[in-house]
């Protein structure tokens, strides 16, 4: 049984390395995809029935048909906006946020200040 979980975790890790989104990327999405992503960003993870229900509860002019929703989810998963785990009615979707690069600024500032203090202990 552990092999199944190890394989699933490896698949999740691989998909998370493929890319992801930033807040600025949302502006470039078509309206239907942007609605789904805004919904997903509020929840971070939803299964397929929850997504269907949430779409049905949206105002009527924002509804998506089931085939349109399926196509949108497929597109978002292929473009690494969402991570899909499982298939069909049992699928779970997770938001794939990009990891932010760490900043070296803070470490540089503190090392510079330390060096200044060592050079001028009376300061």
CATH of the domain at 40: 1.10.10.10
> For the whole model, what pTM was predicted?
0.61
CA dist., res. 98 & res. 5, Å (int):
24
- Give the tens place of pLDDT for each residue, 73-94: 999 998 888 999 999 889 999 9
Q: How many domains does the chain have?
A: 1
Least confident of 46-50, 73-77, 118-122: 118-122
Domain that holds residue 115: 2-119
Distances from the Cα of 14 to the Cα of 8, 9, 23, 87, 89, angstroms: 10, 9, 22, 17, 23
């Amino acid at each position: 049984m552990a092999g199944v979980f190890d394989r699933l975790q490896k698949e999740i890790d691989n998909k998370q390395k493929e890319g992801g989104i930033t807040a600025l990327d949302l502006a470039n999405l078509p309206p239907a995809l942007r609605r789904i992503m805004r919904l997903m960003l509020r929840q971070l993870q939803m299964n397929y029935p929850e997504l269907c229900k949430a779409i049905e509860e949206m105002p009527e002019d924002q509804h998506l048909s089931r085939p349109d929703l399926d196509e949108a989810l497929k597109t978002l998963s292929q473009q690494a906006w969402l991570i899909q785990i499982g298939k069909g009615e049992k699928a779970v979707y997770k938001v794939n946020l990009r990891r932010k690069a760490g900043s070296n600024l803070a470490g540089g500032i503190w090392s510079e200040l330390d060096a200044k203090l060592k050079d001028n202990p009376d300061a």
